[in-house]
Amino acid sequence: MKILFVCLGNICRSPMAEFVMKKMVKEAGLEARFEIASAATSDEELGNPVYPPAKRKLAENGIGCAGKTARQMTRADYDYYDAIIAMDHNNLRGIKAIIGEDVDGKVSLLMDHTGNPHDVADPWFTGNFDATWEDVTLGCAALLKEYAEF
């Protein structure tokens, strides 16, 4: 199961989801069955590391993200990954601009996999990395449950 998490800048939400999901998959002993990455819709932050407050939030929870730098999603990513997981509706528009129509039905919103669908608020604008953490961990737990049998 190959999963690509996508947000606007690839320095806050999608890298948090990438490294949270990697940890959950590892703890479930399912590492061999998953490939997990993240990317941006925009080119705003290309090459930049995970934003320090997001990195701190991960570190507080024993999760590293060394070496991750922002990259932009491509049309080839759409073909390669099995699931493209967006953080908010704005990201869905950005993804559509890159890939056109989601003909294979691979694109979904993270929180649509939970019992409480909503946009993951962008902490770049809200400053609230705790709320992002709550959403990302709930969303990733739901994905793991859903995809564990894939």
Q: Is residue 6 part of the contact set for ligand 4NP (CB under 6 A)? A: no
Site pattern 42..71 for ligand 4NP (x: CB under 6 A): --xx--------------------------
Task: Give the DSSP letter of residue 73.
Answer: -
Site pattern 119..138 for ligand 4NP (x: CB under 6 A): ---x-x--------------
7 is catalytic: yes
122 is catalytic: yes
Q: Name residue, tokens 């995970």.
A: 50
Nearer to ligand 4NP, 11 or 143 (CB): 11
Q: Is residue 13 part of the contact set for ligand 4NP (CB under 6 A)? A: yes
Task: Give the DSSP letter of residue 48.
Answer: P
Q: Ramachandran region of residue 67, left (φ > 0), alpha (ψ -120 to 50) or beta? A: left
CA angle 39, 42, 48 (to 5 degrees): 65
